[in-house]
Chains A and B, each alone.
Chain A
Amino acid sequence: MNRVTPFTNAAVDQLAHAKHELVHVQITVIAVLVILLLEEEVFRILRPRDAVVVRTIRIAAGVLVVAFAAVIVSRAFALR
């Protein structure tokens, strides 16, 4: 792995070799995603938000959903 971009650096390399730590990181990101989805769907009913905030939350949640889907797909390929 090259370590010269923010996408491929020493931290990514460290996590790739530390399964436990990676699982903790992924659980934290899933927690963030759940909070964002709750904010978008549930809290919006309780507390109406500006359209721009809803849009930004949706974008952030969308990015994390895509990343999470990528994790699942690559794990499925690894299992094969």
Chain B
Amino acid sequence: MRRRLIAGRIGPARRTTATAVVAIVVVECLVAIGWLVAATVLDAIVLIALLNHPMVGEEQSSGGRALRVLVLVPLLRLVTLMLALKNVSDAGRYVLEGIPLLVAALAVGGNLRRWQRRFSFDKKQATIAAIGALLSLPAYYIARPPALFDPMGPLQFAAGVVILVLFVGATEELIFRGAVQTALVDLFPRTGVLWASVLFASVYLAVKPVTYIPFIAALGLGWGIVVKRTGTVSGSIAAHGLLLVGLLLLWPSVLG
């Protein structure tokens, strides 16, 4: 009887959350094909619809939590499109967009005590970080991006490490693995990691070259599985950050 009652409540929550995820993926497809005004309008509709869904107010329900954290994905897209200004450098863009999104991810994702539990760092997390650093070399050969700073001195390198690890790696990991995946796994215990990985891959649909998309999507799924098994996001934050440091700072200066 109790199980049927819970199933009766979870069913609509799952349907609503799945619909929201599909809508966000559709928006990201529009972004990838370059229909940016349409994508922004649809993203705005998704954001307002999510915030106005009656389920959002249910503080303890997994459906309410999932809808609340899903708000972060349209927000990320709206902020990045809004700040697509010609006169802002890549590093400046990462800082300007990363700060509000990082704060939002921490605030929406849960209270400080919950986050403290998720930031433990041990040998396993160090290994995951090291794998991320190693994967930066194949990532560089796939994407061949320009260096974040040109010319690159020690000061620029140090600033680049902080910017990439904190405002890109940590922001993305806290949004997709820390907040979104945790909420989706609560709602979809078996497929939550997959749902979160699809969302993560979808925000990468507009990257160039397209061969980088399957690479980063596979990495996202791998980090998702690791975070679910270890219960902490610190390894995936370090791995993502070091991947970016290699991809945008180290290898372009050494091999570019």
Which A residues lie at the B interface, using CB under 8 A?
1-17, 21-22, 24-26, 28-29, 31-32, 35-36, 39, 49-53, 55-57, 59-60, 62-64, 66-68, 70-71, 74-75, 77-78
Give the segment of B12-20, B77-85, B115-123, B222-230 that binds chain A: B77-85
**B108 interfacial contact with A, CB 8 Å:** yes
B248 touches A11 (CB 8 A): no
Instruction: Determine the residue in chain B with the shortest Cβ distance to A32.
Output: B44
B57 touches A53 (CB 8 A): yes
B87 touches A11 (CB 8 A): no
Instruction: Determine the residue in chain B with the shortest Cβ distance to A68.
Output: B82
Most chain A CB atoms below 10 A, which of B59, B82, B97, B204: B82
A56 touches B71 (CB 8 A): yes
Complex CA–CA separation, A1 to B79 (angstroms): 17
Instruction: Determine the residue in chain A with the shortest Cβ distance to B248.
Output: A2
Besides A9-B204, A16-B84, 10 more A-B contacts (Cβ < 8 Å) are A3-B208, A5-B172, A7-B80, A9-B80, A11-B206, A50-B59, A51-B59, A59-B71, A71-B83, A74-B87
User: Given A29-B40, A60-B51, do A7 and B93 touch, yes or no (CB 8 Å)?
Assistant: yes
A15 touches B81 (CB 8 A): yes
A28 touches B41 (CB 8 A): yes
Complex CA–CA separation, A47 to B148 (angstroms): 48
B85 touches A16 (CB 8 A): yes
Complex interface: chain B residues within 8 A of A2 (CB): 90, 143, 145-146, 148, 248
Complex interface: chain B residues within 8 A of A70 (CB): 83, 96
Complex interface: chain B residues within 8 A of A66 (CB): 99-100
B 202-235 binary contact with A (CB < 8 Å = 1; else 0): 0110111000100000000000000000000000
